[in-house]
Structure 1
Amino acid sequence: MRHCIYPGTFDPITYGHLDVLSRAAKLFDKVTVAVAESAGKAPLFTAEQRVEMITPNLVKWPHVTVTTFRGLLVEFCMAQKGDAIIRGLRALSDFEFEFNMALMNRHLEPKMETLFVMPNEQFSYTSSTLVKQVAKFGGDVKHFVPPNVAAALSRAFAPVRT
């Protein structure tokens, strides 16, 4: 059975992430979405909240699961008996960072392969950071994230009443 790990912060998960996931689900017998508990970022949502937002969006892929991880990705992948890491590349600007990370992971664990997948072009400009900015200022994010995620963003950025 071929197993890939799809790591990320997913703060929050977007339709672009789900597009990459759908491509991974076609290529692998098992896919684990690995939510980084702390990736050197200050996430809006806790790791548990991110898992809760992702889970209902996996129902069409029975061979896809979601969990959290901390520490080195390659160590997590080896513990999960993963065959590959899958990463989405939206634009050329993503390539240098992802390429360097893949080389470091290969150095740390030569058996672990990294595969790059391009999402549909309609998602090439979508990022979790941009989605959070739009939501923060009251913009409509329903074209970028699933309904449950849009609702969570709305709650997170709701005006504080005094």
Structure 2
Amino acid sequence: MNIAVYPGSFDPVTNGHLDVIKRAAKVFDKLIVAVLINPSKTPMFSVEERVEMLREVTFDIENVEIDCFSGLLIEYLEKVNSKIIVKGLRMVSDFEYEFQMALINKKLNPEVETIFFMTSNKYGYLSSSIVKEVASFGGCLSDLVPDSVIKHIFKKLKK
């Protein structure tokens, strides 16, 4: 069974993330979308909230599982019996960082492969940071995030 892991912060999940999830789910037998627990960052949403939002937007994709992890991605891959990392690329600027990460992961475990999915044209500008900034100024989030995520964002901003 080909098990791939799509790691990220998903704070919040965007339509760009969902596009990569749907496309990768067609390629692999099982896709684990893994929310990274990063204690050095202060996310808008808790890990539990991010996992819940991802479950809401992927409930109809049978071979997608949502999980979370902390520590090295390579160790998480071993835990879930995977040797494939899925990453989405928006712009050339993403490639430099993601290529560096792919190389260090390969150094840590030579059997691991990183598969890059190029973003669909309509999501090339989209990031979780942009979504949070637009939301903080009361901007329209339709076409940026799934509808179910919009309510979570504005609920969080009201607190």
Task: Bin the TM-score by the shorter chain.
Answer: over 0.9
Unmatched runs of 5 consecutive residues or more in structure 2: none
Matches within 5 A, 1:10-159: 10-38=10-38, 40-158=40-158
Give the total of aligned pairs.
159
AA of the residue aligned to 2:126: T
AA of the residue aligned to 2:151: A
AA of the residue aligned to 1:99: F
CA distance in structure 1 between the aligned counterparts of 2:69 and 2:16, rounded to whole angstroms: 21
Unmatched runs of 5 consecutive residues or more in structure 1: none
1:46 deviation in Å?
0.5
Contact residue 11 and residue 50 of structure 1 kept, 8 A: yes
- In structure 2, relative to structure 1, the CA distance for the partners of 1:151 and 1:23 (3 Å cut) is same
- TM-score where L is the length of structure 2: 0.97
AA of the residue aligned to 1:20: V
Corresponding residue SS for 2:34: strand
Corresponding residue SS for 2:86: strand
Corresponding residue SS for 2:153: helix
CA distance in structure 1 between the aligned counterparts of 2:82 and 2:50, rounded to whole angstroms: 22
CA distance in structure 2 between the aligned counterparts of 1:7 and 1:39, rounded to whole angstroms: 16
Corresponding residue SS for 2:31: strand
- In structure 2, relative to structure 1, the CA distance for the partners of 1:11 and 1:118 (3 Å cut) is same
1:40 deviation in Å?
3.5
Give the 4+ runs in structure 1 shifted more than 3 A.
none
**Cα deviation per residue 1:83-122 (whole Å; 9 max; x = unaligned)?**
3000000010100000000001111111110010012110
Corresponding residue SS for 2:82: coil
RMSD (Å) for aligned C-alpha atoms: 1.1
Corresponding residue SS for 1:157: helix
1:39 deviation in Å?
6.4
Q: What fraction of aligned residue pairs are identical, expressed as a percent?
A: 44
Corresponding residue SS for 1:125: coil
